[in-house]
Structure 1
C-alpha cells in the first residue's frame, strides 16, 4: 500500500509540477512583468486565507485514527462555515488591498479568487478521511485531473480567446471545484457528513487545530512576507520579476516536500507509541528527502540563466539575478525542516510548530522590512543568510527535543548530499569547459550538462537510499 501510494503521489506531484510549469511558461510569454506583480499579490492573499480553510481541524481526524459520525460531521460543518466566512472576508477587504498597493483592477481579481475558498473548505474533511485510510493514490489522481482541467482552461482562454488575468484566477477556482467534486464522488458513504454536531468533539478538534492553523498562517505569512513588504517599496514590474524568480526557486521543494509530508504524517502518527520505531521513521524520511532536495537546488544555481531563458524568455532574463539567492533560501528551508509539520501533527504537538513560527515570523518581518528599503536583491540574500543561521535551531526544536534524533544523523545527510552535489556540478562544468562546451553558450550544452550531473547523482542516490532503508 505504501509503495503504491508513494508511486502515485510521486507521479501526481511530477505531473502537477509539469503542468504548473507549463502554465507559468506560457503566461510569461503572454503577460508582462507588471501582470505578474498583480498575480503575486492575488496568490499571496489566496494562500494566506486558504490556510484557514479548515481551522486546522481536518488533520485531527488523521490524528485520532478512529472517527465517529459525530466527529466527522462536526469537522465538516465547521469547515464549511469557515469557507463561507473567509470568502466574504476576502471579498470585503479586496478594495482595501487594491488601495494599499495602488494597483487598479486588483480588487476584481481578489473577488474572483475568493470563490476558491468555498470548495477548498468543503473538501477538507473528506481529504482527511482519504489520508486516514491511506488512500493517497486516489488523492493523487484527483490532483492530476483537477490540475489538468484548470491548466487547459487557463492556457486555452489566454492564448486563443485573448482573456486577461481574470482567466488565470478563474483557473484556481476551477481546480478547487473539480477536486471537491471528485472527493465527493469517490468517497465511501460513511465519510459523508450527517446533520450532527458535537460541542465536545468541536472543542477537542479545536484544541488540536488551533495551534496548527495558527502555525500555518504564520508560516504562510512568513513565506510571503517578502512579496507583501516589497510591494510597498517597488513597482509592480519589479515585483513581478521577483515573483517569477520565487516561483521557479520554490518549484523543487513544492515538488518533493508534499510527497514527504503526505507519506510521513500517517506513518509518524501510527508509530508515535514506539520511540525506536518513531526515530527510525523520522531518520529514514529525513535522509531520503535530503538526497532528493539538495542536488536539484545546487544544479539550479549553476544553470540559473539558462533555466530563466528556457521558461521565461530572454525578455525576462533579469529573473536570474533573484533566482540564485532564493534557490539557496528554499534549499536550506526544505532540507532543514521538511518533516517538521509531519512530526508536530503526527505527535499531536502542534503547539511547538506554532510557537516556532511566532518566533521566526518576527525575525523575518524585521529582516524583510529593513532589507526591502535597499532593494529586492538585498531581501533575497538576507533571507538565505537567516535561514542558514536557523538550521541548527530547527534541529534542536523539531528533531532533538521531539523525537530524540542525534545531531550527527540530522546533519550528516545534509552535508554529504551538499558536498557530492557541488563536486558533481563543478566537475562536469570543468569537463565541458575543457571540451569547449561552455554551458553559457547554448541550451544544448546546458542540457548535456544537466543530464550528466543528474545521471551521476542518481547513482549516488540509489546507493545511499539502499543503505539508509536498512539502517535502524
Structure 2
C-alpha cells in the first residue's frame, strides 16, 4: 500500500494520514496474527522453542507499517541517495548489535530476530529525523481514500502472493518427480540465478516508480520512458548474466565447493530466465504508478497459468536439465504475452516497439551463451587452483 502514496502525486495531509494509519493498523494485525498462530505451529512441528521465536518476530510489525510509509515518501521525493545511506548505516549498526548479542548473551537465534527489529527501529527513527515534517501523520481520516487505497493494496498483495507461488512451482515439481537429491542441485543453481535479481529489482522499482508516477497523465512521455527503461535494463541484465554464465564454474566452486559442480551444468540453461526477469520490475512499477494494480493482479494469474502449462511437460520429459530450460522458456512466453494482457492495456504501446527493446538483446545473448557452451569457453576454477 505504500506505493499508493507515490501513485497519488498530489495528496493532502488528511489523505496521507489515512493511508499511514491504515497501513500501521494492518501491520499490527499481521503481528497479532503471528502471535495467535505461534503455538499451533510449534505444536505441529513438535518444536516448543519455535513458538517463542515466532512471537518475537511479531515485534517487527510494530514498526514495519510506519517504515514502509516513510520509505515511500523518500522514493516519491527522489531522495534515494539519502535513503540508501540510512539503510547502509542502520544495517551495519544492526549487524554489530546482533554480533554483540550472539557473543555476549545466550540468546542464540533470538539475537538474530532482535537484530532485525533493531534494524527496522533504527531505520524508522532516521527516516523521521531526516524526513520532512509534512510527512508526519495527523489524527485525521478520509473514508474515500481508505477504500481506494485498500483496493489498490489488496490487488498488489494478491499479485505478490501469486508471483511468489509461481516462483516456487518448479521446485515443487522437481521434488515430487525427481526426488530430494536432484531438487537440491536444482535449487542451488536457481538460487544463484535469483540472487542478483534480489538486488536489482528493488533498485529498478525505486528508480522507475516515482518517474512513471510523474508522467502518468502524459501517455506519450510515459511510453518513451518505459521503452527506454526496458532497453537499458535488458542491456544491463544481459551483461550481468553473461558474466555470471562465463564465470559460473568458478562461482559454483567458490560458493558450493567441488562436490556440487553438477550445479554449474544447469546454470547456462537458466541464464535467459535471469536476464529477462528484471522486466517484471519495470512492468510492476508502471502498473503501481498508474494505479492499475488490478491489471497487474489479473496478469499475474495469466502468467501463472503459462508457467504451469510449461511445467506440465516435465511429466513427459522428467529431466532436471529440461526443468532448468523450462524456466527460460516460461520467461520468454511471459515476456511475449505481457504485451496483450498487461502492457497494452496499461500504457497502450504497440507490440513491435516493445519487442524491439528486448528481443534483439535476447537473441545476441542466447547466441553468445550457446557459443560459450559449445566451445567450452567458460573461465574454469582450475586456472585459479593456487587460490581456490
Q: TM-score range by the shorter chain?
A: 0.7 to 0.9
Once the two structures are superposed, what CA deviation does each residue of 1:118-139 show, in whole Å capped at 9, x if it has no partner?
3222212212222222222222
2:298 matches 1:355: yes
Q: CA deviation at 1:344?
A: 0.8
Q: CA deviation at 1:320?
A: 3.6
Determine the structure 2 residue equivalent to 1:287: 231
Distance 1:420 1:362, change over 3 A: closer
- Name which of 425, 440, 446 aligns with 2:380: 440
Secondary structure, in 3 states, of the residue corresponding to 2:358?
helix
Quick one: distance in 1 between partners of 2:245 and 2:121? 37
Q: CA deviation at 1:107?
A: 5.4
Distance 1:319 1:396, change over 3 A: same
Q: CA deviation at 1:197?
A: 1.9
Determine the structure 2 residue equivalent to 1:68: 12
Distance 1:180 1:399, change over 3 A: same
TM-score (norm 2): 0.81
Quick one: distance in 1 between partners of 2:110 and 2:315? 29
What pairs with 1:2-401 in structure 2 (closer than 5 Å)?
Answer: 56=1, 58-94=2-38, 109-152=53-96, 167-226=111-170, 243-317=187-261, 319-320=263-264, 323-335=267-279, 337-364=280-307, 379-401=323-345
Quick one: distance in 2 between partners of 1:60 and 1:320? 42
Distance 1:404 1:236, change over 3 A: same
Q: CA deviation at 1:220?
A: 2.7
Q: CA deviation at 1:293?
A: 0.9
Q: Tell me the number of residue pairs that the alignment of Structure 1 and Structure 2 aligns.
A: 385
Quick one: distance in 2 between partners of 1:239 and 1:156? 36
Quick one: distance in 1 between partners of 2:51 and 2:319? 27
TM-score (norm 1): 0.68
Q: CA deviation at 1:245?
A: 3.6
Q: CA deviation at 1:219?
A: 2.0
The answer for unaligned runs of 5 or more in structure 1 is 1-55, 448-472
Quick one: distance in 2 between partners of 1:114 and 1:142? 23
Once the two structures are superposed, what CA deviation does each residue of 1:350-400 show, in whole Å capped at 9, x if it has no partner?
111011112333554676699599687665443333222222101223333
Q: Is the 8 A contact 2:189 2:263 kept in 1?
A: yes
Quick one: distance in 2 between partners of 1:261 and 1:183? 19
Once the two structures are superposed, what CA deviation does each residue of 1:129-178 show, in whole Å capped at 9, x if it has no partner?
22222222222222222333344556777799998655555544343333
Distance 1:168 1:240, change over 3 A: farther
Q: Is the 8 A contact 1:242 1:319 kept in 2?
A: yes
2:342 matches 1:402: no
Secondary structure, in 3 states, of the residue corresponding to 1:348?
coil
Distance 1:417 1:172, change over 3 A: farther
Quick one: distance in 1 between partners of 2:231 and 2:178? 40
Quick one: distance in 1 between partners of 2:106 and 2:226? 49
Quick one: distance in 2 between partners of 1:101 and 1:327? 37
Secondary structure, in 3 states, of the residue corresponding to 1:338?
helix
Secondary structure, in 3 states, of the residue corresponding to 2:380?
coil
